[in-house]
Structure 1
């Protein structure tokens, strides 16, 4: 007899309840269950989630696909596959799966806030700011302390050139998770590069960019270079931007980095709309 969506959800509630199991424990247990019953949507979904939590995104996609084939009305495997696609940068696939998960969830459900957050992030990056803000508002209604959602919404407000609201969201994200590099980096970039000079604050941008790089192992050197330029320290701006270029693997991004390097070498800071 085929399993129902409620039965698929119940297995998660059991795993994450009073005696929670680790992703590795769940993966081991569900592998044994799948060996006994390859038609268990519960087992495929739970193991997909365990793979996702362990950053094994390809395996998560494969298992979630099996679960969807067995129980297409369950929103959980759609969510797990969508979240896994999000983490591997497959945004079209991620948005489609997350949208299906949200459609199937008829009330506030397990991980629904994450589905809204991820979809909001995708729509923000695609410059669909109104749709993004609606999704992120829904996420924050369910989980008011979601630092990443505040960060994504801050970027959406940057794209709308509503910089005051963006700063409020970035500051809120930082207050909720002060060891999370993403909002530190985003606010540093805004304060260093905003075309509205009333928003710029080079000293604060430098402080935030240094902290973001300390926490991330220097993954945000472009923010640091822009902050150096904003405070007039072009020697360090050039030096840091060269390091950022050396790290950059994306040809389009590298071209932007090199353009900024020329600005810094000529003694000019970088000011532009978000994403330019």
Structure 2
């Protein structure tokens, strides 16, 4: 990536990609610098604002995250941008605002399993476990080979005390992705409200 940026320092995509890489490494300051450069190069692209919002969210800088979410949605009100703002609202404990955005994201992307999985997590954080299970089930219908769908439903089952069903979902998640075994060992220990990997 360094070489690509050196060869073409005006290509926003390279900064965009490196920013996400830095974020995943926990190198937030460097990520923000690359986000800023990408935005400078393509200020009309919604995705660059959404991704910087996610970085701010991971840093728990929620006001800045919301400002970028709002800008992204203004530029391109798609389901992904709105769904990401929903997750930020959830992390802030603003569950009703989160649900409104989840509902809108589902309207725009009714076949996207992540939209249902994300709303399920918000319902779970609210203690609305039956609503969460309905969305978990729909997410699994749409993404039956996505191990994280089963991990998330296992967490909900665990909180409901439904141990057999939790164990079945954990087993299925590990079958789909053996690398998740350590994460699945105690799925009920997952902190509530945080965004989850796809």
If the length of structure 1 is used for normalisation, what is the TM-score? 0.58
Q: Deviations over 1:230-271 (max 9, x none)?
A: 5664311222134435636469x72xx43345x8xxxxxx8x
Q: Which among 80, 84, 90 is matched to residue 13 of structure 2?
A: 80
1:182–1:82: structure 2 CA closer, same or farther, 3 Å change rule? farther
Structure 2 SS opposite 1:90:
helix
**Higher RCO, 1 or 2 (CA under 8 Å, sep at least 6)?**
2
Cα distance in 1 for residues equivalent to 2:180 and 2:168: 20
Q: Which residue of 2 aligns with 1:244?
A: 173
Q: Which residue of 2 aligns with 1:130?
A: 63
Q: Which among 101, 104, 119 is matched to residue 38 of structure 2?
A: 101
Cα distance in 1 for residues equivalent to 2:68 and 2:178: 31
Q: Which residue of 1 aligns with 2:108?
A: 176
Task: In structure 2, list runs of 5 or more residues that go unmatched.
Answer: none
Which one has the largest radius of gyration? Answer: 1
Q: Which among 215, 218, 226 is matched to residue 146 of structure 2?
A: 218
Q: Which among 143, 153, 164 is matched to residue 85 of structure 2?
A: 153
1:158–1:95: structure 2 CA closer, same or farther, 3 Å change rule? same
Q: Compute the displacement of 1:82 (Å).
A: 2.7
Task: In structure 1, list runs of 5 or more residues that go unmatched.
Answer: 1-57, 69-73, 264-269
Flag as ranges the 4+ runs of structure 1 deviating above 6 A.
none
CA contact (8 A) 2:174 2:180 kept: no
Cα distance in 2 for residues equivalent to 1:101 and 1:176: 26
1:104–1:218: structure 2 CA closer, same or farther, 3 Å change rule? closer
Equivalent pairs, count: 187
Q: Compute the displacement of 1:181 (Å).
A: 2.1
Q: Deviations over 1:101-159 (max 9, x none)?
A: 22355xx53xx211101111222223221111110100011112x21111111111111
| RMSD over aligned Cα atoms | 2.9
**Residue 188 (str. 1) matches residue 120 (str. 2):** yes
